[in-house]
Structure 1
């Protein structure tokens, strides 16, 4: 099997520990939720909330085109120019600088820019997946923006996006796009066995249980990358729902990977990937072996769901 994405060690940026950029990370999380909820409100309701996610681009993150009447528009985080850019299929655009500002100010600027483009939208302004949910228009607490930290995290997303897409291509069954969930600020890709799953108990902070239950309506093996809330450093994760017996004890690669009992998922520190002789192959080994843990133990029909990628 040929791996098309070959990145060297220097292509994967060194990321600070989460505590070193926690304030910026939290602020970015809230900004992304503002933008994501705009897409969620105006886009078709695609299964598993896939119609609300963001995607990695050559400059940052995008909503992709959002329908509005007889035209479309897109909202992009540009982490090279450090700007929020809104463009329309009519050729109009608005932008403003990404710099230290409160979530409330970001929300006002975004809504004002949309209004100037003739786009009227009302969103549910309470954030999700956080214990303390301050409505966007009232959030003056989160106002940090370290441009360098934001850029480094995005560069890590770029490399991860490429490897995740390589991994996604190996599956012929139902599989999600590689997409960025603004609730948990994580890039993820999810494979499905094709079977329904037990009703999920829900319980995520400030998320309606019906949303979680629909997201996990079918059996999954899911992997992702996030700044590392709960583990203190950027990391890759992999979990199964439902988790089959023996999942936590299944031997996975690389050696730095481990099962986090509290989170209930396998974890691979980003630093272990970044410093590997072949970071992309190291990450692929984690994705493949943790998927095999789920698919083998839960008796997925792997011969019908997987394929070999022909050499170029």
Structure 2
């Protein structure tokens, strides 16, 4: 339990820094009890096509509300439960998935696109062995967001700013 908490705390620190680089609507870093994952989501501000539903353990009405607007979402999942990725991993996906997203070049090198899940995966073990795990995770978050936002033609100039410090007001 303590190891899991440490992973969540360190992930939360990097996710919190990542969200400071976005001026648009962005979720807080939040924990999903049902799937036991920690996530952060950026929104383009544009409505999305109606979600088709069919997500295991997620009622269709909830999926349609959750994905009513375009998103780029990332998080940490501890693994297990017979999922397509058994080991702990970071993930990143976009809804709707823009054309070319699966082929996007993302970082770090250990990150890959998982076709069945429709999202990029960065194995936790690859991050643990990185020279600078925080920098590697931030690189994953930024490069997968860049791919989603560029391919979906988000108004990046209006939505983004330089990374700041969580909890500190930016000077004007």
Q: With structure 2 as the length reference, what TM-score do the two structures score?
A: 0.91
Once the two structures are superposed, residues 169-213 of structure 1 have per-residue CA deviations (whole angstroms, 9 ceiling, x without a partner) of 110100000000112110000000000000001112343211110
Inter-partner Cα distance in structure 2 for 1:238 and 1:309: 19
Greater C-alpha radius of gyration? 1
Match of 2:22 among 143, 168, 171: 171
Which of structure 1's runs of 4+ aligned residues deviate more than 3 A?
309-312
User: Is the contact made by 2:51 and 2:63 (CA closer than 8 Å) also made in structure 1?
Assistant: yes
Residue 60 (structure 2) pairs with residue 209 (structure 1): yes
User: Is the contact made by 2:20 and 2:164 (CA closer than 8 Å) also made in structure 1?
Assistant: no
Inter-partner Cα distance in structure 1 for 2:96 and 2:136: 26
Matched residue of 1:190: which SS?
Answer: strand
1:151 shift after superposition: 1.7
User: Is the contact made by 2:54 and 2:60 (CA closer than 8 Å) also made in structure 1?
Assistant: yes
**What is the aligned residue count?**
163
Partner of 1:225: 76
Superposition RMSD on alpha carbons, in Å?
1.4
Q: With structure 1 as the length reference, what TM-score do the two structures score?
A: 0.51
Residue 123 (structure 2) pairs with residue 269 (structure 1): yes
Matched residue of 1:287: which SS?
Answer: helix
Runs (5+) with no aligned partner, structure 2: none
1:309/1:266 Cα in 2 relative to 1: closer, same or farther (>3 Å)? closer
Inter-partner Cα distance in structure 1 for 2:87 and 2:57: 24
Once the two structures are superposed, residues 10-49 of structure 1 have per-residue CA deviations (whole angstroms, 9 ceiling, x without a partner) of xxxxxxxxxxxxxxxxxxxxxxxxxxxxxxxxxxxxxxxx
Higher relative contact order (CA 8 A, sep 6+): 2
| Pairing 1:28-43 to 2, within 5 Å after superposition | none
Partner of 2:101: 247
Inter-partner Cα distance in structure 2 for 1:309 and 1:190: 16
Match of 2:137 among 283, 286, 307: 283
1:208/1:256 Cα in 2 relative to 1: closer, same or farther (>3 Å)? same
Partner of 1:52: none
1:234 shift after superposition: 0.5
